[in-house]
Each structure stands twice: as C-alpha cells, then as structure tokens.
Structure 1
Amino acid sequence: MARGESDGSGNQNWDSDEEVEDEEDSAAVLEAVGRQIKLWRQSAGFSQPAFGAAIGYSEAQVYKVEAGKRIPKPDFLDKADEILNAGGKLAEFKRDVAEARYPKKLRHLTKLERESLEILIYGAHNIPGLLQSKEYATAMFAQARPALLRERFERLVEARLARQAIFDRRPMVTLSFVLEEVTLRRPIGGRAVLRGELGHLLAVSERPNVELQVMPTESEEHAGLGGALQVLRLMTGQTIGYSETQLTSRIISDPREVHALEVRYGILRSQALGPARSREFIEKLLGDT
C-alpha cells in the first residue's frame, strides 16, 4: 500500500510521513544534478546570466536549477551539455530528473501507464489528473492544506502535466474516462479556470484514442459509490487495478479484486451518458458557465 500525494484520479493526500520522505529523496536528486551543472558552468567560465543567455533561459531559472529548486527540462539539460561540452554527462541526467519528478509510489503507477494498452479511469470527486489543464491542475494543488511550499507546488504541477504525454504515446494507448457531473460544475480556481478546463476536456475527447463519458448527478443507479478507481490492461496481458482514499492509495494485483473493479467500471460505462451525449453535455455546460 502506498501513502501520500496521489495523481491517479486527481485526489490529493498531503500529510503522510512517506510523502515527506519521497519529497526529500526527490530534492536530493535535484540538488545533486544542480551542483553538477554549476560545477560544469563554473569550469567553463560562464556566469549565471551568460550561461542562461547561451541556452535560452533566464538567470533566475539557472539559479533555481543549480539550487535544486526547479526541475530542469530535457531541453535545458541538452543545451547545457552542448554549451558546456559535457560530452553527454549532463544530458544523461534526464532520466534521473524525470524519475525524481514523481513520488516513489507514483513512479510505479506511471511505469504501469507506460506499459498499458488500455487505461480505464473513474473520477469520483475530481476531474482525473490526466485530464487536467495546467490552470486547473494548479488550482487543484492550491487547495492543499497545509499549503505547499512553492518549489514542491511547482514540482507536483509539472509532474501531473508530464504524465499527459501518454496521450501521444506510440504504440497508442486507449483511454476511457467516466466523470461525475458535479466535478464538471465545481468552479475550482474560478469560472475562467473552469471554462478553460471544460474546453480542454472537449479538445481531449476529439482524440481517436480517448472515450469520455459523464455520469449525471440525477442518475438513480451508480456502480461507483465505492470511490475512484483505475484499471490498467498491460502489454503483457496482465490487468492491474489502482484505487485511492483520503490517506492511502494502492496498486491492486489480486485477480479477484481486479475483476471486481473491471465489473464496476463496465457497469459505470453503461450507466453514464454515451460519448456523443457526454460531449453535448459538456458543450452545454461550457455555454452556461
């Protein structure tokens, strides 16, 4: 069982000891990478402003990366490697930095997503993280209590958005979502953010590998009252489940439990509006917001 911040359905758990340990592990990686970049920069005779100008980043961004307060993007590492003649030593950090972006348990889930042919997600209380726009994800993490430190806040938002690369993965993965109507009406971040999120959902729903359905609040039948769930069908033929509650999240591999989640999701899809009607529903909500 994994505890702490969770990204599968967009829910947030903020206060576990494991989450603090994960954060410390990630910070240690970023600080080590930052020190290496600084040493290479100084050895090459670049000031922070000159180095930033050479790779297309501001002095402030260079400072934050070297201090381990900001995750360097792959482009940053590639350009730094080239400008500083590091011979691939800095570019090699891309994998370490990508892993450090996620809490340990989420690294496992993200790995499973990369190995999936089909992913089925029901979001009970929030719009799933994979469907959140940058503005909406930012507003979601702003709800954390106690509030997050700025550096951690930025890392969590970036990690959530980075997972969305799965939409463009090859081989193509099929993604199915069932969303609660109430989550589409709740103005997290304000009306403008909600409008942007509804527009984002409509754009994502146009992708050939995405099927999006809405569960109306007025529905008298509901198979998902046990909470958010996720089912991942892997390239190996194995099927894995994932579930979350307030303080815990866990990967489920027991065949009987996974089967139960598959059955629930199948019934949820039959109870929700079909993809075409769901799109019409979201379009109307957008017009009314």
Structure 2
Amino acid sequence: MGDVRGGGESGEARPELAEDLAEVSDFFRALGKQIELLRERAGMTQKELGSQVGYTEAMIGSVERGKRTPQPELLDAADELLNAGGLLSIAKDDVQQAKAKARVRHPAWFRDFAGLEAEAVELHEYSSLVIPGLLQTEDHARSLYGMRQPLLSEEVIEIRVAARMARQEVLTRWPRAIFSWVIDESRPPPGGRPAVHPGPLPVPGEKSEAFSLPACYVRPVRA
C-alpha cells in the first residue's frame, strides 16, 4: 500500500484547527531548541549524542528543528547524558498530548492508516510510482505536496510535511518493528526535480542507507 494523493480538499486542515496545530509545532520547536542548547552546553555534536541514544545525526537534527517527535526513551536518555536535571524527562506527558492533538494534521482518509501504522509490529509495502512516505526526505515530501492538484496552501503543505516526517518516529521506537519496502529503482523522472529526488538505492538485500537502522530493508526492482 502506498501513499495516495487525493484530489479533493475535504480532508485538509480546517481553519478552526489551525491554532491548535500551530501550538503543537511551536511546542516541538521549543523542545528541540532546549535539546540543542543542552547538547551544545555539554560539548557534544549531534552525531555524538545520536550514537549514544540510538539515533542518527540526521534524526537528532530533525528533533532539534522540531520536525521529528522525540520518543520518551530519547528524552530520558538525553536528560541523563546532558545533565538536564529532569528538564527533558518531565516533558514526556506533554509530548504524548501534543502527538494526540497532531493526528489531525493527516488528511481524513489517511488517519486510520496512520494510527495502525504507528502501532504495527511489521509493515511490508510495495510501491511502483512513488517513494513511500516513511522513506521520504523533508525536501522530497515538500516537493510532492507542492506539485499536488488542486494546489495546497503553503500552510497546509507545511502541516502535511511535518506530519509525514513525524510518522517516521515509528522507525526508531522500542520495541523495534520490522519494515520492508519493494520499490522501483530510483532515478530522476523525465521533467522532474533532480535536486529533491532521492539518490540511488542500495543493492537488493542491503539495509537502507537513509536510516542505517536495524529491521528496515529496502529492495529496489530494476525496470
């Protein structure tokens, strides 16, 4: 099952939800800045912190920018490593509440699947037309939403991109789930945007270089 881009606007964020969504985004950005400040005070790089908490350097960067939701295990581990004195651990309940509120960021037709995906113990997907959402970079997702018809507003695009990036937290949760994807070999499409198109995928059987995580496998199929 791949990500589907619907044609209507009925599933987009309603105006009355905009304030709540802005509050959620602001909260995650503020929490990310706190983690960044504490990390820098401790004299650690993103790579060094990530290696000790089971995250990649890119993932720590996404958390610090407020693009990726920090898991409770990360907050506890970072609190201890960075000598935060409980400043990060105490935010766990607030993070869970923000995550519940943020679920409305997904289009209505996708919310049930997003809920199942977040709780899955295994997910196996075949996609012949697009890179699956869990493998997309932020720039690639933004490019796809920017080409959607009918056009989306910049506000809705940013909400959708943030929601798609937040889905990827399932890749680092504990206990680990098993993920595998079978997709067409990546190549710049005719008339596409090479700057945001993913690079070559690993050869069949290798783990995705994008994540370097256990139990995540990408198997490209040559045309």
Deviation at 1:208, TM superposition (A): 1.8
Contact 2:123 2:180 in 1 (8 A): yes
What residue is the counterpart of 1:28 in the other structure?
Answer: 16
Q: Cα deviations across residues 85-111 of structure 1 (Å, max 9, x unaligned)?
A: xxx9x9485144322222233222122
Report the TM-score when normalising by structure 1. Answer: 0.47
Q: Cα deviations across residues 125-155 of structure 1 (Å, max 9, x unaligned)?
A: 1111111111111111111122111101111
Cα 1:149–1:215 shift into 2, 3 Å: same
Secondary structure of the structure 2 residue equivalent to 1:29: helix
| Structure with the higher fraction of residues in strand conformation | 1
1:137 aligns with 2:141: yes
Tell me the amino acid that sits aligned with residue 25 of structure 2: I
What residue is the counterpart of 1:215 in the other structure?
Answer: 221
Matched length? 161
Q: Cα deviations across residues 7-35 of structure 1 (Å, max 9, x unaligned)?
A: x6233113154x25xx22xx42332x38x
What residue is the counterpart of 1:119 in the other structure?
Answer: 123
Cα 1:189–1:72 shift into 2, 3 Å: farther
1:72 aligns with 2:36: no
Cα distance in structure 2, aligned partners of 1:28 and 1:77: 25
Secondary structure of the structure 1 residue equivalent to 2:148: coil
Deviation at 1:180, TM superposition (A): 1.3
Q: Cα deviations across residues 214-261 of structure 1 (Å, max 9, x unaligned)?
A: 1221xxxxxxxxxxxxxxxxxxxxxxxxxxxxxxxxxxxxxxxxxxxx
Aligned to 1:11, which of 4, 10, 32? Answer: 4
The 5-angstrom pairing of residues 194-213 of structure 1 reads 194=197, 197-198=198-199, 202-204=208-210, 206-213=212-219
Q: Cα deviations across residues 192-217 of structure 1 (Å, max 9, x unaligned)?
A: 222xx226874236322111111221
What residue is the counterpart of 2:159 in the other structure?
Answer: 155
Contact 2:188 2:194 in 1 (8 A): no
Tell me the amino acid that sits aligned with residue 144 of structure 2: M
Runs (5+) with no aligned partner, structure 2: 34-90, 203-207
Tell me the amino acid that sits aligned with residue 192 of structure 1: A
Contact 2:131 2:183 in 1 (8 A): yes
Aligned to 1:192, which of 192, 195, 216? Answer: 195
Cα 1:91–1:75 shift into 2, 3 Å: farther
Tell me the amino acid that sits aligned with residue 196 of structure 2: V
The 5-angstrom pairing of residues 1-289 of structure 1 reads 9-15=2-8, 17=10, 19-20=11-12, 23-24=13-14, 27-31=15-19, 33=20, 65=22, 71-76=25-30, 91=94, 94-181=98-185, 183-186=186-189, 190-194=193-197, 197-198=198-199, 202-204=208-210, 206-217=212-223
Contact 1:127 1:184 in 2 (8 A): no
Cα distance in structure 1, aligned partners of 2:217 and 2:148: 30
Cα distance in structure 2, aligned partners of 1:78 and 1:198: 28
Q: Please identify the structure whose Cα radius of gyration is greater.
A: 1
Q: Cα deviations across residues 17-56 of structure 1 (Å, max 9, x unaligned)?
A: 4x25xx22xx42332x38xxxxxxxxxxxxxxxxxxxxxx
Cα 1:98–1:148 shift into 2, 3 Å: same
Percentage of matched positions with identical amino acids = 25
Contact 2:121 2:177 in 1 (8 A): yes
Cα distance in structure 1, aligned partners of 2:172 and 2:111: 19
Report the TM-score when normalising by structure 2. Answer: 0.60
